[in-house]
Every structure is written in C-alpha cells, then in structure tokens.
A = this chain, B = another copy of it.
Amino acid sequence: MKKSTIQDVADLAGVSITTVSRVINKNYPVKESTRLRVNSAIDKLNFRPNLLAKGLIQSCTKTIGIITPSIENLFFSEVIKGIDSFIRPMGYSTILCHSEGDNKSEVDMIHNLLNRQADGIIMIDPRKENIDSGFIEDLSKSIPLVLINGFYDGVKCNYILNDATSGVIEALNYLLGEGCTKVTLLRGKHSYSYDIKEEVYRDFILKKSDYCKVLSIDEGNDLKSVNSAKLKVISALKEKKSAPDGIICCNDWMAVGALHAAKSLGIKVPGDLRIIGFDNTIISQITEPDISTVDQQMTILGQLAAKRIYTMMTTDDHEIQKIFLETKLIIRNS
C-alpha cells in the first residue's frame, strides 16, 4: 500500500493538483461539486499531506521544540503540560526532547530541532555549560527562543522565571523563625537555577548566621537523585557539631532523599531537623510527614513561555523580555 500523493488524488478526482491543494487548505473558493469529488478521492486513497514538502516550501513547520533535562521530575511534566495547553490549540505541535542533564545532548537536540526547521524552541532549565559558552545566546539570535528558569544576568534572552530569590528567602525566614540555627542548602550540579538559589542562600544566610553550608549532588533531576541526596544528607547529619538542623532542597526529589536520610538515622522531622523542598509536586504530599515546599506555579510558567514564543513567532516582536512569576511557600509537616 504505497503512500499516495496529491497527484494521485488529482488524477482520481480528475482535477489539477492545485485544486486539490485548495480543497485541503480551504484557502481559495472551489466549486462544491468538485470539492466533494476531491474529498472522496482523498478518502478513497487515504491521502495524507506530506508535511516535509509543505514545510519546505512555506519555511514554517508549525512546530516548536521543548528541551527539558528530564521527564522524571514532575516539575518538568507540569511545565510541559502548561506549554502544550496553550500552544496546541493554536495549531502547533511540540517535539519534546529530554537531555538527561547532559549538555552535549542538549546541543545535539537543539541542532536536530534547527535542522527540522522548528519554528521556535523553549528550554526548561538549560545546562549551565551551554549558557556559559555563549551557545544559547547565539541560538536566540537565529530562532525564537524562550528559557524557563535559566536566567543569567549577562545573557540576552527571553526568560520566564520563578522569582527564586523570594522563594529561597521565604524558606530561610521560615526556618530561622522556627529556631533553626544551622540551615544548609542541598543542590545539584550544572544548572543555573541551582546557582541562583545558592547565591541567594549565601547572601542571605551570612547576614543572619555564621553557619553557611552547601551540599551538592551530581544530577538533580533523575530518580537516582533521591538516593544520592539521601547519602549526601546522611553524611552531613553524621558530622557532630556542624550537622544541620534545617535543609532547603532545590527540588522535591532531593527533599524526599533528605527525609529518608533523617529517618534512617532516627532523626525526627520536623522535631530535630526541618526540611523544605522546591516545586510543590505531588511527591511532597505523599511522604510522611508531608513536605513543606516552595510552589512554583509550573502550569502557568509553561503557559507564559508558550504565549511569549507564540508572540515572537507570529509577530515581529523579538524584544528581550524577562517575565517573573511569584513563588509561594507551602507549609506542611516537615
């Protein structure tokens, strides 16, 4: 059953390919009777228009690429659903790529999207190395690009950002208010969103206390991070006098790891140790105790990014914008 082309349809309906194209795209008047003939030929041949040919001639594929570090962190899932909920009704499809946190893969995937003539790219939490190298900034000159939670001061791009500053500070204030004196930050490597949190943490904590300690695990977004966070926190908790009594974790997976670390050592949460996560994914609600966390409004984050890139693709507004979204500390029982 070979694929049929617009020519086959034209032959069967006894019209020219131009007419077939007009019937398909409904962009020019076609006599009702021929329209019906063409449509029945389309059905009979099970004709499907070749989007490669269409995209080639129109230099527009109605496609946006989404690059995410992982599909195992519900933060990303929610953002992606937010993007889709806005952009698909506008007639666009999305190509979802997950880099597994590897900067080389990220570059490969972007090249692939460019080669496929994607109309725009949204990157969630881009890899630090690719921002530092200037790759991302260059990229944004050649295609509509929006970064979600990957802000770096000197880099000219379109950003949709959580106000991580306010999130970290809110969490810190809460922990200090509850009497914690040794609050540490648990982060992963290779992401600017972690860097920013760390920076805010350091700035703030040094004004209030002389305890300042950052724990770092390798990859923060895959499932292994639960266990690596656990191990890292266990060894921190075992240090006699410098053991933390409060931990701010850069995402909920790490917070689960921290919680398990405490449990395995018989340390009471929140009695002896307070834990705060980031993202407010459902993960933070299903542990015992459930975990206090910073809500980042992921769906809205995704929708804003989609809206912004839609504007950039459909108008000549290519300005650099930075859109901030509030975060909100959700107090639970950790």
Contact = CB atoms under 8 A, between A and B. Distances in A.
A114 B283 CA distance: 36
A142 B2 CA distance: 8
B74 A93 contact: no
Interface in A40-99: 46, 48-53, 55-56, 61, 71-72, 74, 77-78, 80-81, 84, 93, 95-98
Contacts of A149: none
B260 A115 contact: no
Report the copy number of this chain in the oligomer: 2
Contacts of A22: none
Interface in A104-148: 109, 111-112, 114-117, 141-142
A141 B1 contact: yes
Nearest to A112: B93
Interface in A189-243: 223, 226
Given A52-B117, A95-B96, 18 more contacts: A3-B142, A48-B111, A50-B115, A50-B117, A51-B112, A52-B53, A52-B56, A52-B116, A71-B77, A71-B80, A71-B81, A72-B78, A96-B98, A223-B282, A283-B286, A286-B287, A287-B288, A288-B288
A95 B260 CA distance: 36
A65 to B, nearest CB: 10
B117 A51 contact: yes
A276 interface: no
A119 to B, nearest CB: 12
Contacts of A97: 96
Interface string A134-166: 000000011000000000000000000000000
Nearest to A62: B112
Interface string A283-294: 100111000000
A273 interface: no
A329 interface: no
Given A53-B56, A115-B51, A74 B287 contact: no
Nearest to A56: B52
Contacts of A6: none
